Amino acid sequence: MFKQFTLAAASLVLCLGVAHAADAAKAPTAQQSKMGECNKEAEGKKGDERKAFMKTCLSAKKATQQDKMKTCNADAKTKALKGDDRKKFMSDCLKG
């Protein structure tokens, strides 16, 4: 009886381990996701131009919301936008 219980428990653990490994294999890593995004943006580029673009794209850090806010705010000041024009510009800038 004890051997049957042990065998059943071991089988269950193995099945759960295999199922977990299969789920983990399906989810792309952050680097794989970034590679896919850069690859889409590189469409139409060939040779050295593509290599240079991919190197820059893959090494670039994604801008945080705070970084975007600083950049958009500086651009709005440069353009001397005020009121509704500034609100629309900031909204569009932060979405992009």
Amino acid at 38: C
CA dihedral 6, 12, 17, 23 (to 10 degrees): 180
CA distance 90 to 72: 6
pLDDT per position as a tens digit, 14-56: 666 655 555 656 788 878 888 898 989 999 999 999 999 999 8
pTM, two decimal places: 0.40
Average pLDDT over residues 73-78: 92
